[in-house]
């Protein structure tokens, strides 16, 4: 078995060669997705439930399309509007769903570790679509695939991750993945948006953006998570844009062929200049969205293979 996991809860549990296996498969799905007939049947007969305890349009749509293209029966549950509001606990919800025999459960939750907890209580494969500030593995994998396709490799690159690191699960998963694949990671942001103990992560930390962007191959911008702020992490949006917003001037410090990434949705004029984001010569933001579907197809395919295998063994 090349991908020996029951769930995809985070990058932390993956080995470098397993990441490569997943990305290789995702490449084939990226090719499929560009065909007029985009259908495959890897998930035929399986039920996929998307449970989003936190608002999401893009990630949920991406998982839904990925599931449908592979032939799964996909159901979306908007958990914010449902029984959670009536006081049902996460575990009760999980057990209720479990009784409906889903095969793939895609979960996003506002609390770190909530998806791990849920995974302990169900019989199906669980994919973490983002838990609190903890992990967002499919985002890191789609970023990795985008980088690999743009740069031709996923090692020995200098990658800058800029912005609200402290509140970002995207940053955590990316730091872990890029570190495992032996890249040089530079974190850029104001100290109020850096998590504690960051110096022990095996990364370089910069408060000055120009210094941090010096000769990097990849510039990864993060969304300034306004909804997560208790207030008072930065003085104002305009000062933030001045010091940490990505524009042509700051990008000039990176390598001439450096690519610009953003997990979306973007705050144009807060963390990134609108024109730059749309520059098809530098920005790979649309490729990220495209690779998102491919990576999620690959992840669900691999987990479904394991699921079928364990079920055959059980019989």
Partner 1 sequence: MSRIAFLNARLVDPERAQVTTGGLLVEEGRIRALMPAGEPAPGDAQVIDCGLKYIAPGIVDIGVKVCEPGERHKESYRSAGLAAAAGGVTTMITRPDTTPAIDSPETLEFVTRRANEASPVRVLPMAALTKGRDGREMTEIGFLMDAGAVAFTDCDRVVSDTRVFSRALTYARSLGALVIAHPQDPGLSRGASATSGKFASLRGLPAVSVMAERMGLDRDIALVEMTGARYHADQITCARALPPLERARNNGLDISAGTSIHHLTLNALDVADYRTFFKLKPPLRDEQDRLAIAGAVNSGLIDVISSMHTPQDEESKRLPFEEAASGAVALETLLPAAMRLHHAGLIDLPVLWRAMSLNPARRMGLESGRLAKNAPADLVLFDPDAPFLMDRATLRSKSRNTPFDGARMQGRVLGTWVAGTQVFKRDR
Q: Mask of contacts with partner 1, 152-171, x by CB under 8 A? A: --------------x--x--
Residue choice 91, 100, 252, 309 for contact with partner 1 (CB under 8 A): 91
Smaller CB distance to partner 1: residue 64 or 135? 135
Residue choice 4, 152, 197, 256 for contact with partner 1 (CB under 8 A): 197
Catalytically active residues, by annotation: 58-59, 86, 108, 136
Q: Binding of partner 1 at residue 12 (CB under 8 A)? A: yes
Q: Binding of partner 1 at residue 109 (CB under 8 A)? A: yes
Q: Binding of partner 1 at residue 134 (CB under 8 A)? A: yes
Smaller CB distance to partner 1: residue 71 or 179? 179
Give me 77's structure tokens.
């549950």
Interface with partner 1 by CB under 8 A: which range of 65-73, 197-205, 258-266, 306-314? 197-205
Cis status of the peptide bond prior to 265, with omega within 30 of 0? yes
Smaller CB distance to partner 1: residue 132 or 292? 132
Smaller CB distance to partner 1: residue 81 or 196? 196
Q: Binding of partner 1 at residue 132 (CB under 8 A)? A: yes
- Close Cβ partners of 35 (under 8 Å, ≥ 6 residues apart): none
Residue choice 201, 205, 207, 255 for contact with partner 1 (CB under 8 A): 201
Binding footprint of partner 1 on the chain (CB under 8 A) = 12, 89-91, 109, 111-114, 116-117, 131-135, 166, 169, 172, 195-198, 200-201, 230
């Amino acid at each position: 078995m090349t991908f020996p996991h029951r769930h995809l809860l985070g990058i932390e549990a993956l080995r470098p060669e397993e990441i490569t296996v997943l990305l290789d498969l995702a490449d084939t799905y990226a090719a499929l997705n560009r065909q007029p007939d985009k259908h495959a049947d890897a998930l035929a007969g399986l039920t996929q439930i998307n449970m989003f305890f936190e608002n999401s349009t893009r990630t949920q749509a991406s998982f839904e399309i990925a599931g449908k293209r592979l032939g799964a029966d996909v159901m979306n549950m908007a958990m914010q509007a449902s029984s959670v509001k009536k006081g049902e606990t996460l575990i009760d919800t999980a057990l209720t769903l479990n009784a409906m025999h889903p095969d793939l459960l895609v979960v996003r939750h506002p609390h770190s570790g909530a998806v791990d907890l849920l995974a302990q209580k169900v019989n199906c494969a669980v994919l973490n679509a983002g838990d609190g500030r903890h992990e967002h593995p499919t985002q890191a994998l789609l970023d990795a695939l985008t980088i690999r396709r743009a740069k031709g490799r996923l090692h020995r690159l200098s990658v800058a991750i800029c912005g609200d690191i402290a509140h970002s699960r995207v940053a955590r998963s990316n730091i872990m993945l890029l570190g495992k694949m032996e890249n040089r990671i530079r974190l850029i942001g104001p100290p109020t948006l850096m998590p504690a103990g960051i110096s022990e992560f095996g990364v370089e930390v910069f408060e000055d953006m120009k210094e941090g962007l010096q000769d990097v191959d990849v510039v990864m911008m993060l969304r300034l998570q306004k909804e997560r702020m208790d207030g008072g992490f930065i003085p104002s949006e305009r000062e933030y844009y001045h010091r940490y917003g990505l524009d042509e001037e700051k990008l000039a410090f990176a390598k001439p062929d450096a690519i610009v990434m953003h997990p979306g949705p973007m705050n144009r004029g807060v963390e990134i200049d609108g024109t730059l984001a749309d520059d098809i010569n530098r920005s790979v933001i649309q490729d990220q969205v495209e690779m998102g579907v491919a990576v999620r197809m690959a992840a669900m395919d691999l987990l479904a293979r394991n699921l079928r295998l364990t079920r055959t063994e059980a019989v």
